[in-house]
Amino acid sequence: MYVIKVGGSAGNNYDALCDDLAARFAQGERVVLVHGGSDETNRLGEALGHPPRFVTSPSGYTSRYTDRRTLEFFMMATGGLVNKALVERLQARGCNAFGLSGLDGRLLTGKRKATIRIVEQGRQRMLRDDWTGTIEQVNTTLLRMLLEANYLPVVAPLACSEAGEALNVDGDRAAAALAAALNADALLLLSNVPGLLRNFPDETSLISNIPQAELEDYLPFAEGRMKKKVLGAQEALIAGVKRVILGDARRSGCISAALAGAGTVIA
């Protein structure tokens, strides 16, 4: 059993991904698909007059500042547009996909960070009214129920706080939490790059293999949002997932290629 996360940035080939996924599902493989939604969230925000704002934490991680209005766009984009675009493609290929978000049935429970510390023009400051969170628990009973009934769960990166609030959570880390909770053999983080690049954006500088014990040494190569993927990989491996592959979601046969070792394999 393995967990796949496909990015929500521009350039990923959802048709090719679903071709490969539906074929493998038909062979009896059991998979959970998690997805992002950054591109659609940005588009909705721009169209509806509330453009996205990205902030950087003191430790250098970039994230979307999610005020209540942005959370609504994030829900529309991830829980709606992107989730259903994937479910529709999978259904059209004969695969019984079941779309849900981490909010539904408390699939993912998280802790809200209502106030976040950011660095702006070299100075630290606090931002309030944030609706992001970190995942603390996975409802494996619900997931196993779907898997045992032969559904392919397609999960949008929202979580439910203790108080029942919707939270924007990072898709890569959500996939890592799901892979860990399911004792998955592999976690595939597929996006619009071939894997972790030594000299981003030079695609010939792909790092093919990273031993788990050396992962920290490779963190400096990851810029911007790639850092979250490396962090997600680390969380999954520490929790017992055997290998994490950072692969290319633009190419055809992207899942099969990643499982065969194309991309950055961390184990």
Ligand X SMILES: Nc1ncnc2c1ncn2[C@@H]1O[C@H](COP(=O)(O)OP(=O)(O)OP(=O)(O)O)[C@@H](O)[C@H]1O
Q: Which is nearer to ligand X, 184 or 222 (CB)?
A: 222
- Residue 37 binds to ligand X (criterion: CB under 6 A): yes
Does the protein bind ligand X through residue 133 (CB under 6 A)? no
Q: In this chain, which stretch among 34-42, 87-95, 123-131, 179-187 interacts with ligand X, using CB under 6 A?
A: 34-42
Write the CB contacts of 57 (distance below 8 Å, at least 6 apart in sequence).
63, 116, 117, 118, 119
- Given candidates 154, 225, 255, 259, which one binds ligand X under the rule CB under 6 A? 225
* 144 assigned ligand-binding residue: no
- 12 assigned binding-site residue: no
Min dist. Cβ of residue 9 to ligand X (A): 3
What counts of helices (H) and strands (E) characterise the chain? 9, 16
Nearer to ligand X, 225 or 243 (CB): 225
CA distances in angstroms from 64 to 51, 112, 150, 253, listed in the order given: 11, 14, 35, 31
Beta-strand ranges (E) seen in the chain are: 2-6, 31-35, 54-56, 62-64, 97-101, 108-112, 116-120, 123-127, 133-138, 152-156, 158-161, 166-168, 186-191, 209-210, 243-248, 264-266
One residue of 51, 224, 240, 261 binding ligand X per CB under 6 A: 224
Binding mask 195-214 for ligand X (x = CB under 6 A): -xx--x--------------
Nearest CA to 230 out of 200, 266, 193 is that of: 266
Q: Which is nearer to ligand X, 166 or 193 (CB)?
A: 193
- State the Rg of the chain over Cα: 17
CB of 169 to ligand X, least distance (A): 10
Q: Find the part of the chain contacting ligand X (CB under 6 A) among 32-40, 114-122, 178-186, 252-260.
A: 32-40
Do residues 116 and 127 lie in contact, with contact meaning Cβ atoms separated by under 8 Å? yes
Smaller CB separation from ligand X, 25 or 221: 221
Q: Does 9 bind ligand X (CB under 6 A)?
A: yes
Whole-angstrom distance, CA of residue 5 vs CA of residue 28: 19
Residues 171, 225 contacting (CB under 8 angstroms): no
226 binds ligand X (CB under 6 A): yes
CA distance 143 to 135: 16
- Residue nearer to ligand X on the CB measure, 15 or 162: 15
Distances (CA, A) of 136 to 6, 133, 140: 22, 9, 13
Q: Is 223 in the site for ligand X (CB under 6 A)?
A: yes
Detail the residues annotated as belonging to a binding site.
Answer: 64, 168
Detail the residues annotated as belonging to a binding site for substrate.
Answer: 64, 168
> What residue ranges bind ligand X (CB under 6 A)?
7-9, 36-38, 171, 191-193, 196-197, 200, 221-226
